[in-house]
Structures are given as structure tokens and as C-alpha cells.
Chain A
Amino acid sequence: MKPTSVNSIESKQTVEAESKLKKITTYNWIFKDYLFKKSVIFPVVFGIVFLFFWEIKVFHMIFNLELYQLPTPITIVQSMIENWLTLMFYSAYTGTEILGGFILGSLLGWIIAMLASLFPSIGKGGVTVIASLNAIPIVALSPIMNNWFGDGIGSRIAIVTISTMAAMVVNAYKGFQSIDGNYLDLMYSYASRKSQIFMLLRFKHSLPYIFAALRINVSASIIAALVGEFFISSKGLGFLLSDQIQIGNMPLAWSCIVIASLMGILFYNAVEVTERLCIPWKNS
């Protein structure tokens, strides 16, 4: 009895080894492991079908829309190609606002969170007050900033700064503070200075939280810049968007949305790549 059972286990193992070998063939790579994976093929097909239906005006029929209300994808692309120079220029303009405000706001938020965590007994209430900035509708900010900084680029940078700051304060503060007591005890037992505790423990521990805030701030900063430009501006994607809608040039308005979205996706992925570089211990 015993030898046979051992044999059967052995044969089972060889079968498994063979099946593992099979997995690496090209056939499997294309059809099972990567290209034809449901999670890839389904959304791609869905996207194509969606665009196709849109192009042949299925949605126009269903919702009773005219072409001047909802342009088709091809006309949007055409308009993008025709106006590429304007779009590029405005994207660069809006991009500067976004990036400038994003960096300023995140940095400012980080500094405030750091100060608050150095003096937590006073700081905690301050963090709560700043967290309420999160609940402020951005539109309320833009006329104020226009009053203060005029209708130039500075006004939007200020808006983006304020709307990205709150998320960073809240997250970074959490990252600085949410440290297991044993770690603090350990540092205490080494008789480490407060600055060492900050640099060696709190700062490193807060990195994932900081990147979470940065990821939130990607779309927050773009939204803030666009909404800021809706108001009083003579340049930028947000201005072009609202301006073209006023004169009924929908394809160009849609182009602005498409470009802003592409900017967002690009920006978001850039943040994620940076995160992977800065936090190597999380994903190796």
C-alpha cells in the first residue's frame, strides 16, 4: 500500500510541474494571462461600443438631442486637431496654475501638519478648523481670490493652493500622529531627541499618508483651476470651456474636457510612479 501512495503523490507532482510549464507558452500568454483577460478585454470593448453608439447618434435618439448639444466623438477630435495650438497654449497655462498651486498647497499643508504635530495639544483643534476648508465649495473662493490677486494666473494658483492644502494637512497630520505607542516607547528608550523621532519615525511613517493626499489633490487641483477660470479669466482651459459653450461651439468645449481629463490621468500616474519610488518597502 505504502509505495503506491508515494508513487501517486510523485506522479501528481510531475503533472503539476508539467502544467506549470505549459502556462508559459505564447498561446496562454495571449489568450489566458494577459491580452484576453476579462479585466482588459471587457472595458476596451465597452469603450469602443460606447464611442461607436455615440458616433452613430444612438444617444441623440434616446435622449432626443441635437448635434449642436452633443457633438459626436469624431467632430470633437477634428476640433482638437484644428485648434491644437490654442489648446496647447491654454493647457500649458492651466497646467502651470495646477502644478503651481498643487506644489504650494501640498507644501503649505505639510508644514502646517508638521507644526500641528509638534504641538499636538494646540495643533489638533487647528487641524480640525483647516479640515473644514475641505467642505468649502471652491466657487466661493474664486471671486475672493480675484479680488485679491486680480484676474491673472496668481488668482488661480491661490485657489488651487487653498483647495489642495486641507487634504494634505489632514492626511499628513494623521500620518505624523498615528504611530503605535511601542515605537515611541522604543525611541524614548534610546533617549532620542525630538528631531530624531521626527526624522527617523514620524516622517517616514507619514509618507504613505502624504501620497494619499497627493493622489486626492490631483483631481482637486484640476477642478479648482477649471472652476477658477470659469469665473473671471481670459485664458486657460476652463475659460475656453465656458466661453465656447456661451457661443455654442460644443466640439471645442468637449475638447477642453478631454484634454483636462488626459492631464488628470497623466498627473495621477506620475504621482503613483513617484510614490512607488519613494516607498520601496511597500511593494517589493
Chain B
Amino acid sequence: MGSLAKRQNHFVSTLLWMIFLVAIWEFTAWILHSVVHINSAETKWPYFHDLVINIFQNIPVLFEQGSITFGKAAQGFIIGTLAGMLLALIMSFSKSVKYTLSPYIISSQMIPVIGLAPIIFGILRDPDLSRIVTAGYITFFPVTINMLQGLENIKPQQLELMRSYATPSWKMYTKFKIIAALPNLFSGMKIAAPLAVTASVVVELMGAPNGIGVLMLSSLYYGEAQAHMFWSVILICVFIGIASFIFILLLERIITSWQPEFHRERNET
């Protein structure tokens, strides 16, 4: 079986699973609505097709609010990524900076950095800026860690080869080290992308005037009457998270197309 056929197979099986899960969803909804008659079935488990209809009916407002949330998250994400790359570069350049900061950067993996989101909102009191800052610093940590790992894990032989060409140290970075670290940078970005969306929504829940989080709160407030709207908002939220992840994935494929896992020719039997 060729790699193409394998990938197609995988795609088909993923698609089948999605269809299967939607079917399960509909079936469960039918059970809850029409067989066991639970209380407030609409809020607990609406029919999937109702939600799709609702999303299409409310596309303008969902799109508008969704793009606000996504836009703020994306701005913060870009700033956070750039800052993370910069710090990783500085840390790989200067041993002292690395010694000083790495324990803190590493422990950022262990602590719930998102907990600071409400505090940042409390400090800044500006919804737009808070969203950007929160999404930014949440992106910052994983990007820094992964980028630094990439810069440090370069094979010594490759470094020696570059040195033997008498490459100046800045060129070493622009021509070689940064490129070699790109796969790691992308894995950091893939971790960060959904978190940046979460960050943005959390700030909205704390009291921003617009965005998908506000829509979520208001539809929750109206309870049963807006149950479909509430679920649609959630689905949009999930969609934004997954879309941002896939966007980074595609970006990775384009920028680091040399990575072996993107074109595996020989298959295992």
C-alpha cells in the first residue's frame, strides 16, 4: 500500500468516525427527548441538526462575535510567538540569561498560567488589551520552551560542519539554527493556539463588551429559550479552536515541508 493510499484510508476512517459520532449524538438526543423525556432536554442535549440550522440562521452575529474573539486571540498569539522566539534566541545566545530564566520558564509548564487572566483584566481594565495580553503571554511560555529545546537539540556534527565553514555567529542563527528549530517552534505553537482562544474567551467571561464569550453568557442567561443559541456558540468556539490548530498545522507543512514525516515513502509491512 502506498503512502498516499494509507493517508486516504486514514482520512476516510476519520470521516467515518465523525459521521458515526454525529449519529450517536442524534440518537442520544432522540432517546433523551422522546423516550425518557428528561427535564430541559433542549439545554442538556439538543439535536445536532437543530444546532446546524441555528448556526446558519445566526451566521452574521456568530461570525461577527467569533471574529472579534478570534482576532484578539490571533493578535496576542502573534505577539506571544514573536516574544517567545526572541527570548529563546536570547537564551540560546547568552548562557547567563539561560541560567537565570530557565527554571522559571520550565516551571511555567507546571503552573496554571491561565489563572492570571482575570488578574490581568483586573489590572488593565481594558477588554481589548486584556484579551491580547492574556492570549499573548499564554502563547509565550510554550513557544519559548519548545523553541529553546529546538535550538539546543541541534546535532553537534551539524554545528561543527557549519563552524568548519567559518560561518559568522549571526549567520549561524539566520541560516541554520533558527531553521533547524522550526519544527519545535511549531509544536509549541500548536500547543498554544487553542489556549490563546481559551484565554481570549475567559477575559470575555470576566466582562468584556463583545466577543463569543459574551454571547455565551447572554444565551446562558436566557436559559431554555436560547438553548440552541448557547450550543451554537459553544460549537463555534470549538470550531475556532480546532481551526486555529489546523491553520498552524498547514503553516507547518508549508514552511517546514522538508520534515520526514510529511513525506514518508517506504511503508512498513
Question: Do chains A and B make direct contact within the complex (CB under 8 angstroms)?
Answer: yes
Chain A interfacial positions (CB closer than 8 Å to B): 38-39, 42-43, 45-47, 65, 69-70, 121-122, 124-126, 128-129, 132, 134-140, 143-144, 147-148, 181, 215, 218-219, 222-223, 226-227, 230-231, 238, 241-242, 245, 248, 250, 253-254, 256-257, 260-261, 264-265, 267-268
Among residues 39 to 88 in chain B, which have CB atoms less than 8 Å away from a CB atom of chain A? 40, 43-44
Interface residues on B, range: 35 or more
A-B contact pairs, 25 of them (CB 8 A): A38-B99, A43-B104, A125-B14, A126-B13, A129-B18, A134-B194, A134-B245, A135-B245, A135-B246, A136-B194, A139-B201, A139-B205, A147-B43, A181-B269, A219-B109, A226-B115, A230-B118, A241-B119, A253-B119, A254-B119, A260-B112, A260-B115, A261-B112, A264-B111, A267-B110
A257 contacts B115, C-beta separation under 8 Å: yes
* Cβ contact within 8 Å between A231 and B205: yes
Question: When the two chains form the complex, which single residue of B99, B122, B193, B220 contacts A69, counting CB atoms closer than 8 Å?
Answer: B122
- Whether the Cβ atoms of B13 and A121 lie closer than 8 Å is yes
Contact with A along B213-253 (1 / 0, CB 8 A): 10010001000000000100010011011101110000000
B95 an interface residue at 8 Å Cβ cutoff? yes
Q: Determine if A43 and B206 form an interchain contact, defined as CB atoms under 8 angstroms apart.
A: no
Closest A residue to B12 using CB positions:
A125
A125 and B13 contact, Cβ closer than 8 Å, known pairs A139-B237, A253-B118: yes
The distance in angstroms between the C-alpha atoms of A257 and B104, with both chains bound, is 15
Could you tell me the distance in whole angstroms from the C-beta of B168 to the nearest C-beta in chain A?
26
Does residue B197 face the partner (Cβ distance < 8 Å to A)? yes
**How long is the Cα–Cα vector from A185 to B100 in the complex, in angstroms?**
49
**B residues at A contact (CB < 8 Å):** 10, 12-18, 21, 40, 43-44, 95-96, 99-104, 107, 109-116, 118-119, 121-123, 193-194, 197-198, 201-202, 205-206, 213, 216, 220, 230, 234, 237-238, 240-242, 244-246, 268-269
> CB distance B107 to A265 under 8 Å?
yes
A38 vs B98: C-alpha distance in the bound complex, in angstroms? 10
Closest Cβ of chain A: how far from B95's Cβ, in Å? 7
In the assembly, what is the distance between CA of A121 and CA of B10, in Å?
A: 8
Whether A129 contacts B14 in the complex (CB less than 8 A), given A136-B238, A137-B238, A223-B114, comes out as yes
Q: How far is the CB of A36 from chain B (nearest CB, A)?
A: 12
Interface centre among A70, A227, A248, A250 (most CB of B within 10 A): A227
The reply to whether B111 and A143 contact each other, CB–CB distance below 8 Å, is no
- Minimal beta-carbon separation of B50 from chain A (angstroms): 16
Chain B residues within 8 Å of A43, by CB:
99-104
Residues of chain A within 8 A of B107, CB atoms compared: 261, 265
Chain B nearest CB: distance from A44 CB in Å? 9
Cross-interface CB contact of A65 among B12, B15, B111, B123, cutoff 8 Å: B123
A227 near B198 with CB under 8 A, answer yes
Given contacts A38-B99, A135-B194, contact A126 B17 (CB under 8 A): yes
Which residues of A lie under 8 Å from residue B220 when comparing CB positions?
143
Check A264 against B110 for contact (C-beta < 8 Å): yes
Q: Are B44 and A148 in contact (CB under 8 A)?
A: yes
Q: Determine the residue in chain B with the shortest Cβ distance to A221.
A: B112
Say how far A227's CB is from chain B's closest CB, in angstroms. 6
Closest CB in chain B relative to A18 CB, distance in Å: 29
| Residue in contact with A38 in the complex, picked from B95, B110, B193, CB distance below 8 Å | B95
Q: Name A130's closest neighbour in chain B (CB-CB).
A: B17
How far apart sit A275 and B44, CA to CA, in the bound complex (Å)? 40
In the bound complex, what is the Cα–Cα distance between A136 and B13 (angstroms)?
21
Q: Is the CB of A219 within 8 A of B238?
A: no
- For B240, the chain A residues whose CB sits under 8 A away are 137
Note all chain B residues with C-beta closer than 8 A to A257: 112, 115-116, 119
In whole Å, how far is A146's beta carbon from the nearest beta carbon of chain B?
9
Please give the distance in Å from B102's CB to the nearest CB on chain A.
Answer: 7
Bound form: Cα–Cα A38–B101 in Å: 11
Question: Nearest Cβ in chain B — how far from A26, in angstroms?
Answer: 24
B194 pairs with A143, CB closer than 8 A: no
Distance in Å from the Cβ of B78 to the closest Cβ of chain A?
A: 18
Q: A219-B111, A226-B112 are in contact. Are A136 and B241 (CB under 8 A)?
A: yes
Cross-interface CB contact of A219 among B44, B110, B193, cutoff 8 Å: B110
| In the bound complex, CA of A61 to CA of B206 (Å) | 26
B242 and A135 contacting across the interface, CB-CB below 8 Å: yes
On chain A, the residues within 8 Å of B234 by CB distance are: 140, 143-144
Asked if B122 contacts A139 (CB within 8 A), the reply is no
- Decide: A139 near B119, CB < 8 A? Known: A38-B96, A231-B205, A264-B110: no
